[in-house]
Structure formats: C-alpha cells, structure tokens
C-alpha cells in the first residue's frame, strides 16, 4: 500500500491543505462570532468618532457627544417620557397587528374560500406604501393615540399575515396523510401539524414586522400629533442640536436589535427541532 513504486502513473502530490474547505455558511464558533461582532462595532464607532469630530456639529455628530446628550436627556426626563409614549404605541399596535395578522393568516392558509376572498386585497395592501394611508387614518381616527396605533397595526399586519398563510400552506402533505391515516381530528391536526410547521414562517413574519413597527411609530409620531421619540427627533433637529437628534435614533436601533435578539431566543425555545437543521 505504501510503496509508491507500484503506482502505474506518477501523480503530482498536492500539498496538504492547511484547513479543510468549509461549505458556504459553515458555522463559526460562538466566541469568535461575538468577538467579530464586537470588533466591527468598535471600528464603526471609532471611524464615526474620528470623522464626526472633524465635521460641523450642526451637520453631524459623534458617539461620545451622543453619549453626553443621552445622559442629559435621561437626567431631565425627556428621553424616558418620550420612550414611554413610543413604547406604548409600539407594543399595542404591534400586538394587535401580529395577532390579527396571525389569525387571518391561519384562516387564509387553511381555507381556500378565505384565501380566494382575501388574496387580491391583501397583496394590494401589502404592496401599498402605508405612509400614503396615514392622512386618511388621521381623518378617521384623529390625531391621537388610536390613530398612531392603527398606523403601527397596518405596518405590521401584512408581513405576519402573508408569512403565516404561506407557513400553513407549506405543511408537508405527507404528514397530513400520516395524520389522516391515524384518524386525526381537524383540531388535533392543527395542534400536531399545522401550527408547529407554520411556526418558523410566523417567526419570520414577526421579525419583518418588528422592523416595520419601528418605522411605523416614527411615521405616526411625525404625521399625527407629535409625540414620543419622533417628537424628540423633530424638535431637536429644528434647534440644530444634532447630538440630541441622534439619541432617539440610537434608542430605536437598540430597540430593533434587542427585540430581534429576543425573538431568536424565543424561536430557539419554541422550535428546538430546528436548531440542527440546515
């Protein structure tokens, strides 16, 4: 076996590869991932600081200035008050949007009649830039909180609805047959099969909805009675306090990152069978 003279054809021996080739999307170790995330964040902050300090403070700002502004705004209570107002609108609108979107998605996914009834209106509304509807919402619901909640609801309902519907339709027909063969009732079919297999799709819908809900809050606060984080952005921009404009923006970013992260944790808890699947 080890005698090279036996070989009929000489073969160029390739140098041994240092690292085995990885398939695309191969997993990094947990620690390395977090280390790389930290490095990228640090580099962005340092570049921002360096460039921001060389720029007119009315036009741009830098991380340490935003930090100072944050402390000021925490001290005078404006930030927490605004955050409270925004979070109220956000959570209520988001909850209503995801719940109604999920419910309608389950209905249209399973019932062909509901699907036929709602198909075109849903697609049309999903494609509509929701901002265009805000003036009408103001007309219907006034400038108050209810109209803001409606804006968030409208922004969040469709990604959840469409993804849930798709999830319900993507149920493995072979497993439906398994359930039928074992004489499952329709109710048990939902519990054992439809809901668990739609869950990842619902989660994707909710993840999209989070991003859209954050947009919706600010849009609502700009275009209805001005309040919350949107108010902080507008009022500070008008007085050229650029560092203070960035404080609510950073808070919104943090909200998005944290909620998305929480959602991932929730998904891992709710759907442990998906962890090792590709």
Partner 1 sequence: MSARPPKISLDQVAVAFGKRIVVQDVSIVLQEHDLLCIVGTSGSGKTTLLRAVAGLLPLHRGRILLDGAMITRPTPRTAMIFQHFGLFPWKTVRANIAYGLAVQGRRDEDGTITRLLEVMGLTAHAMRYPYQLSGGMQQRVGLARALAVRPEVLLLDEPFSAVDAITRETLQGELIRLWEDPQRRQTTAILVTHDLDEALLLGDRIVVLCGTPGQVRLELEVSIPRPRTPQDLRFHPAYPQLRRQLWEALQEGGTPPQASADSPIRLEERD
Residues at the site binding partner 1, with contacts judged by CB under 8 A: 174-175, 177-185, 188, 192-193, 196-197, 271-273, 276-277
The nearest distance, CB 164 to partner 1, in angstroms, is 17
**Residue 62 near residue 53 (C-beta atoms within 8 A):** yes
Q: Considering only CA atoms, which of 67, 90, 64, 91 is closest in space to residue 79? A: 67
The nearest distance, CB 180 to partner 1, in angstroms, is 6
Q: Copy the structure tokens of residue 89.
A: 């609108």
**Residue 218 near residue 229 (C-beta atoms within 8 A):** yes
Q: Name which of 249 and 271 has its Cβ closer to partner 1.
A: 271
What CA–CA distance (Å, rounded) separates 269 from 273? 9
**Axis-axis angle for helices 134-141, 145-169 (nearest 10):** 120
Q: What is the CA radius of gyration of the chain?
A: 26
Q: Half-sphere exposure of 172 toward its Cβ, with a 13 Å CA cutoff?
A: 8
Q: Name which of 72 and 192 has its Cβ closer to partner 1.
A: 192
DSSP 190: I
């Amino acid at each position: 076996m080890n005698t090279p003279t036996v070989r009929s054809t000489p073969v160029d021996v390739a140098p041994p590869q240092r690292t085995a080739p990885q398939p695309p999307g191969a997993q990094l170790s947990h620690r390395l991932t977090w280390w790389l995330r930290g490095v990228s964040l640090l580099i962005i902050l340092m570049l921002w600081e360096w460039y921001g300090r060389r720029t007119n403070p009315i036009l741009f700002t830098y991380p340490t200035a935003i930090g100072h502004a944050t402390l000021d705004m925490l001290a005078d209570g404006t930030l927490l008050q605004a955050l409270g107002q925004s979070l109220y609108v956000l959570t209520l609108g988001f909850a209503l949007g995801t719940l109604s979107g999920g419910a309608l998605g389950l209905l249209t996914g399973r019932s062909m009649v509901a699907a036929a009834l709602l198909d075109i209106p849903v697609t049309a509304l999903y494609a509509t830039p929701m901002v265009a509807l805000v003036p009408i919402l103001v007309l219907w619901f006034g400038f108050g909180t209810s109209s803001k909640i409606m804006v968030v609801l409208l922004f969040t309902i469709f990604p959840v609805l469409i993804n849930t519907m798709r999830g319900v339709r993507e149920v493995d027909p072979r497993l439906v047959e398994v359930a039928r063969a074992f004489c499952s009732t329709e109710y048990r079919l939902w519990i054992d099969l439809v809901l668990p297999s739609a869950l990842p799709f619902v989660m994707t819908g909710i993840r999209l909805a989070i991003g859209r809900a954050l947009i919706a809050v600010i849009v609502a606060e700009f275009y209805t009675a001005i309040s919350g984080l949107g108010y902080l952005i507008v009022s500070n921009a008008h007085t050229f306090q650029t560092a203070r404009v960035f404080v609510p923006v950073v808070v919104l970013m943090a909200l998005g990152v944290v909620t998305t992260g929480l959602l991932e944790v929730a998904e891992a808890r709710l759907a442990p069978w998906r962890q090792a699947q590709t």
